[in-house]
Amino acid sequence: MAIFPRTVISNCTTRKAAGPSISLTDVSKAGGVLATARRWRTLVKRSPAMQTATELYKGRSIVDATTAAAAIEGRLFVVSAGLGLVAADDHVPNYDLTVVTGSPLADMLDNQGLGPADWWVALHKERRLPLSELVTTTTAFLALPASYLRLVRHDLALVPAAAAKRLRIFTSEAGRAAVPQRLMPCVVPYDDRLETVPGFNGTRAEFPQRALRHFVEQLKGHELSLTDGKQAVLESLATQQRRTVPDRARASDDEIRALLAARWHACNGSSGRLLRYLRDDAKVSCEQGRFRTLWRSLLPQMRQVV
């Protein structure tokens, strides 16, 4: 019986190490998505790669993914809209590119009637799609939120049936809608009850990595068959209650920026404290990626305020 090496596949983060970075504004968007992706790849190749992927990306999701990879003695890979699929120890350039709603790339794709998955395919034009190739040759633990599953869905759909038996997918309940139907049996059945497990609560953006870490640390699920692993999760969550989600109002980008600016100095500009203020005190709904974009857009303005 063949023995396949273990891999953890996680997503990149909007929070990155400080330093000069390249962005979509550095390349022309003329000529459509294929031409833009070609120019972007050229820019990436020409940019200095000063740190490894795990040094570049910051935040709990990358920490939990790294911890899980170490626990199963596997290698960590990162899905990136800017770099494609990179190993955690690969040296990479700093960059600012994302497919989250409202980003320049998302707007460009939307204007062309395309979606995130089309960018992923264009980014790897004339090469084999990397995610399905990696999953085919390993026992893969895939921890991705809905936005990144939508990015790689064409690639993921190419995973052959034999490899799917070794694949475990960790995502939110919303993320399941982006999983190809024939791979739904690979989804490990975590849900919001994880939020009430001590040490494993957190933001929605980090849910897949928290679920994976719980699976390997608490349940030793990487040593179980897919069927037994899923059953272990169901049993572990059976005694947990779903956390009550507070009602939060929706607000426009301008309204959120105004709230952040008014509270900026009281929170010393801390992104973490401002996000908690927005959600807990102002009772405003704001996804973490969107919040990060709005917070960064305020930085130049607030630095000028004495």
- pLDDT attached to residue 246: 72
Alpha-carbon gap, residue 9 to 17, rounded angstroms: 20
Alpha-carbon gap, residue 163 to 141, rounded angstroms: 12
Q: Which of 62-66, 103-107, 250-254, 294-298 has the highest mean pLDDT?
A: 62-66
Radius of gyration of the CA atoms of the chain, in A: 20
Alpha-carbon gap, residue 9 to 169, rounded angstroms: 9
Note the pLDDT tens digit of each residue in 129-166: 999 999 999 999 999 999 999 999 999 999 999 999 99
Q: Count Cβ neighbours within 10 Å for each residue of 184-197 and write b for 16 or more, e otherwise.
A: eebbbebbbbbbeb
What pTM, to 2 d.p., does this model score?
0.82
- pLDDT attached to residue 305: 60
Task: Tell me whether strands 51-52 and 91-92 are parallel, antiparallel or unpaired.
Answer: antiparallel
- pLDDT attached to residue 184: 97
Alpha-carbon gap, residue 27 to 216, rounded angstroms: 42
Q: Which among 91, 105, 98 has a CA at the least distance from the CA of 55?
A: 91
- pLDDT attached to residue 43: 96
- pLDDT attached to residue 82: 96
Could you count the other beta carbons within 10 Å of the beta carbon of residue 248? 14
| Residue with token string 């050229």 | 42
Residue 306 has pLDDT above 60, yes or no: no
In three state form, how does the secondary structure of the chain look?
A: CCCCCEEEEEECCCCECCCCCEEHHHCCCCCHHHHHHHHHHHHHHHCCCCEEHHHHECCHHHHHHHHHHHHCCCEEEEEECCCEEEECCCEECCEECCCCCCCHHHHHHHHCCCCHHHHHHHHCCCCCCHHHHHHHHCEEEEECCHHHHHHCHHHHCCCCHHHHCCCEEECCCCHHHHCCHHHHHHECCCCHHHHHCCCCCCCHHHHHHHHHHHHHHCCCHHHCCHHHHHHHHHHHHCCCCCCCCCCCECCCHHHHHHHHHHHCCCCCCCHHHHHHHHHHHCCECCCHHHHHHHHHHHHHHHHHCC
- Phi, psi of 182, rounded to the nearest 5 degrees: -75, -10
Q: Which among 8, 23, 91 has a CA at the least distance from the CA of 53?
A: 91
Note the pLDDT tens digit of each residue in 92-122: 999 999 888 778 899 999 999 999 999 999 9
Task: Please give the share of the chain, as a percent, with pLDDT higher than 90.
Answer: 75
Alpha-carbon gap, residue 168 to 229, rounded angstroms: 9
Note the pLDDT tens digit of each residue in 44-64: 999 999 899 999 999 999 999
- pLDDT attached to residue 288: 80
CB 33 within 8 A of CB 119: yes
- pLDDT attached to residue 224: 97
Residues 6+ apart with CB under 8 A from 136: 159, 160, 163
Alpha-carbon gap, residue 54 to 257, rounded angstroms: 30
Query: Domain residue spans in the chain?
Result: 6-237, 253-304
Alpha-carbon gap, residue 200 to 163, rounded angstroms: 29
CA 306 to chain centre: 36
